[in-house]
């Protein structure tokens, strides 16, 4: 059996470090959003409040970063290798405090 996409909703809350603040908006590293801890290529990241308006990404000295707000939905599509299926990870931002972004899983 071959799968082209694996959908993963991590059950444990995840915490991401705020790597920079741009115009007062905290940002997290796009390359740190994958949940399987294997080297992978990030294909696409969507982050927004569900209204259809996505938050901005910025290229910084820290690499590509994503603006983040409490209540945002975050979807990350990544791929480990050509012969592996793509992975879709999804979560909601529940809090931003002490330079950390706390999330919970989002079941699609």
> What average pLDDT does range 87-106 have in this prediction?
88
| Span between the terminal Cα atoms of the chain, in Å | 22
pLDDT at 10 over 70: no
Q: State pLDDT tens for residues 24-58.
A: 999 998 776 665 566 677 778 888 887 778 888 89
What is the per-residue pLDDT for 2? 54
Q: How far apart are CA 6 and CA 91, in angstroms?
A: 15
pLDDT for 78 beyond 90? no
In this structure, what are the phi and psi dihedrals at residue 7, rounded to the nearest 5 degrees? Answer: -100, 125
Average pLDDT over residues 84-107: 86
74 token code pair: 């975050």
Q: What is the per-residue pLDDT for 58?
A: 92
pLDDT of residue 108: 61
Under the banding of pLDDT at 50, 70 and 90, the label for residue 9 is low
Quick one: pLDDT at residue 38?
64
Which of 54, 6, 1 has the alpha carbon at shortest distance from 30?
A: 54
State the Cα–Cα distance between residues 78 and 33, nearest whole angstrom.
9
Taking 80 as the threshold, does the pLDDT of residue 15 lie above it? yes
């Amino acid at each position: 059996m071959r799968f082209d996409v694996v959908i993963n909703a991590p059950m444990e809350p995840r915490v991401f470090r705020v790597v920079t603040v741009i115009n007062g908006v905290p940002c997290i590293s796009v390359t740190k959003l994958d949940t399987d801890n294997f080297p992978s290529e990030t294909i696409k990241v969507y982050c927004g409040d569900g209204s259809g308006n996505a938050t901005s990404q910025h290229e910084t000295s820290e690499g590509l970063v994503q603006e983040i707000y409490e209540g945002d939905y975050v979807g990350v599509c990544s791929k480990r290798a050509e012969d592996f299926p793509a992975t879709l990870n999804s979560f909601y931002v529940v809090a931003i405090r002490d330079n950390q972004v706390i999330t919970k899983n989002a079941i699609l």
